[in-house]
Structure 1
Amino acid sequence: MQSKVSVYVGGGWYRPGGVPQDVAKEIQQHQASGYTHVKIKVGGAALSEDLRRIECALSVLPDSGHLAVDANCKFQREEALEYAAALAPYSLRWFEEPCDPNDYALMAELADVYAPPLATGENLHSTQEVLNLVRLGGWRRRHDLVQVDPPHSYGLHAYASMVLALEREGWPATSHFPHGGNQMSLALVAGLGLGGCEAYPGVFGSFGGFSDDTVVDAGYVHAPQRPGIGFEGHNALYALMKTVGAPGVPNQST
């Protein structure tokens, strides 16, 4: 059990009419809220513009270890390798989802040529899928990172079982940075001693963010003290979840 949890901001979105300097302004807003590490998007613009965005982000961060980038599985082989070559000199915290995580051949090729950490996992949902990645995709123990999304991976028990299965393969719990800035991920990071938790301040409505009394201090939040996941402390989400299956409330999924 961790007494405090390392959190980073998933942001750096592309916006209509945006310019590279926008990421610096966004990061400064997060820094004012107590965050120290951020992740920005790549792959939604030309490589030259993405590099300018990275330079702008680094201009307001202490060093490149405070910045990660996320391609959301955008690239095929040629572009993935091109980005890997361009990003490697920055020694970023990680390069996330450069390609489809089930393309083991390309994953292994990237791991062979890209020295800084790689990360992926939000599009993997089971223990076997993650084991296939680390066994067949060239994933490097104690270096690369696994980012499975807990709400999408068959629940808390299945997620914890995945962490234990990877530990038997030589992957420490600190290799896991769950995707999704939500209360479930935060509780799992604290309870299982994982590497850190993503945060999405100001986005995704009721489903984003942690409990209402969460305070971010120098990149950390204190471990939740409520029983279980602690949804009760997130008023907007708790009110929404109480309507699920409630008598007289129509099922909105149909």
Structure 2
Amino acid sequence: MKIVEIREKTLPISSSIRNAYIDFSKMTLSLVAVITDVVRNGKPVVGYGFNSNGRYGQGNLMRERFIPRIMAAKPDSLLDDAGTNLDPHKIWDCMFTNEKPGGHGERSVAIGTIDMAVWDATAKIADKPLFQLLAERYGNGQPNRKVFVYAAGGYYHPGQNLDALKDEMRSYLDRGYSVVKKKIGGASLDEDLRRIDAVLSVLQDGQKLCVDANGRFDMDTAIAYAKALSQYDLFWYEEAGDPLDFELQAMLRNYYDKPMATGENLFSMQDARNLVRYGGMRPDRDWLQFDCALSYGLVEYLRTLDMLHAHGWSPNRCIPHGGHQMSLNIAAGLGLGGNESYPDLFQPFGGFPDGVRVENSYVTLPDLPGIGFEGKADLYREMEALSR
């Protein structure tokens, strides 16, 4: 049993939308295929992975450092103790060989993308859905296949007026979501408040709105928004300031006593630990958004969950960024609080397997081996083209 080849392809996921910090007109991602010599149903087992939106493709790092290390390793050194499957932890250690601690940026995205593909292959070799494999190895053995999801949208579109924004949000509600998200910080406070009022005007009882500043604000602006947002019953106020400005995040609790969320741009267990140590986050109401595809993968995410437990946090306060099926499987297998979803954006990489429907902001994961990419036809066409 061995990995025979690892392929990467950089693909566009460009869009004319923008948030408070960046536009997505030139956005890319890396698609990875980990090809093994294990045969299931007459075909070699192939694991697939890709990185989340907001960070660009990392093909150069993969091809120069991480893929060669895996391919140069003795195949047996990458297997579990029984020799019957890949060992994602050993493969992760192999990738991190000769890497200094710290510097958790683009490197974490490259490793996290390959790690996703390794876990997909591992679960397929075991002939189990990844959520089942995770529940058996690291959970209580019983996955919760019903996962909370919210609809991420409300970007700044060229020429989009308030009526068009309301139509966008209605489209999410019509598809079964009861929690939706919109961007703030890309316009003036007054304009953002008008946009919030417009979205709230289409929400019904039991439906909620999240707002996301994408790290745009300095302290004074973050506080000004916190005071203005306090008049609403929001699901959360997300990433007000720079992701590493823990003092700003901690200060906000003095001005905003309702739920806040952050963490999607923290790329290691150590960064996550600094957030819960120094960022003033409250485990009874706030949300953590670490995204395994951007932060060294599931191997590192497991370390992060152990750290959170030691600091009194439940995994159900984690709702990862990214809108991908990897985090859906982690949520189902390890008891996270849910997952982000992009109903219309960053396709075909966002969304769910074909036939999965949202009901009152929950989806039920189908019984598919691995992460379940093969159940999403438009996505699997891209993946199969890479591995063919």
| TM-score where L is the length of structure 2 | 0.61
**1:69 counterpart residue number:** 211
Supply the distance in 1 between the matched residues of 2:168 and 2:263 (Cα, whole angstroms): 25
Tell me the percent identity. Answer: 48
Matched residue of 1:206: which SS?
A: coil
Q: Deviations over 1:198-218 (max 9, x none)?
A: 110121122111112211112
Corresponding residue to 2:261 among 94, 116, 119: 119
Q: Distance in 1 between matches of 2:353 and 2:206?
A: 30
Return the alpha-carbon distance in structure 2 between the equivalents of residues 157 and 229 of structure 1: 15
Corresponding residue for 1:213? Answer: 355
Which whole-Å CA distance do the structure 2 matches of 1:28 and 1:93 have between them?
Answer: 17
Contact 1:181 1:209 in 2 (8 A): yes
Structure 1: runs of 5+ lacking an equivalent: 248-254
Amino acid at match of 1:98: A
Q: Which residue of 1 aligns with 2:246?
A: 104
More strand by share: 2
Q: Find 1:54's aligned residue among 196, 206, 212.
A: 196
**Does structure 2 conserve the Cα–Cα contact (< 8 Å) formed by 1:73 and 1:98?**
yes
Give the letter for the 2:221 counterpart.
Answer: E
Q: Shift of residue 25 of structure 1?
A: 1.2
Letter in 2 for 1:241: M
Between the aligned partners of 2:306 and 2:385, the Cα distance in structure 1 is 34
Please state whether the residue corresponding to 1:72 is helix, strand or coil.
Answer: coil
**How many angstroms apart in 2 are the aligned matches of 1:167 and 1:224?**
29
Alignment of 1:178-197 (within 5 A): 178-197=320-339
2:224 partner letter: E
Find the partner of 2:313 among 143, 152, 171.
Answer: 171
2:298 aligned residue: 156
Higher mean Cα deviation, 148-157 or 94-103?
148-157
Cα 1:76/1:63, change in 2 over 3 Å: farther
Q: CA deviation at 1:39?
A: 0.5
**Equivalent residue for 1:11?**
153
CA contact (8 A) 2:178 2:207 kept: no
CA contact (8 A) 1:112 1:138 kept: no
User: Which deviates the most, 16-25 or 32-41?
Assistant: 16-25
Shift of residue 22, structure 1, vs aligned partner: 2.5
Counterpart Cα distance in 2 of 1:8 and 1:62: 15
For 1:150 and 1:213, how far apart are their aligned partners in 2? Answer: 25
Match of 1:140 in 2: 282
CA positional deviation for 1:27: 1.2
Distance 2:365 2:356 in 1: 9
Once the two structures are superposed, residues 168-192 of structure 1 have per-residue CA deviations (whole angstroms, 9 ceiling, x without a partner) of: 2101111100101111111111111
Q: Which amino acid aligns with 1:60?
A: V
RMSD after superposition: 1.6
Is 1:25 the counterpart of 2:167 in the alignment?
yes
Tell me how far 1:63 sits from its aligned partner.
Answer: 4.9
Long gaps (5+) in structure 2 = 1-142
Distance 1:120 1:202 in 2: 23
- Residue 95 of structure 1, CA deviation: 0.5
After TM superposition, give the deviation of residue 243 of structure 1 in Å: 3.8
- Aligned pair count reads 246
- Measure, in 2, the Cα distance between the counterparts of 1:84 and 1:224: 40
**Distance in 1 between the 2:349 and 2:372 partners?**
13
> Do residues 236 (structure 1) and 373 (structure 2) align?
no
Q: Is the 8 A contact 2:261 2:287 kept in 1?
A: yes
Aligned partner of 2:237 in structure 1 is: 95
User: Residue 251 of structure 1 aligns with which residue?
Assistant: none
Q: 1:3 to 1:100 in 2, by over 3 A?
A: same
Tell me the CA shift for residue 65 of structure 1: 6.1
Q: Could you say what secondary structure the match of 1:67 adopts?
A: strand
Letter in 2 for 1:9: A
How far is the alpha carbon of 1:222 from its aligned partner?
0.4
Larger radius of gyration: 2
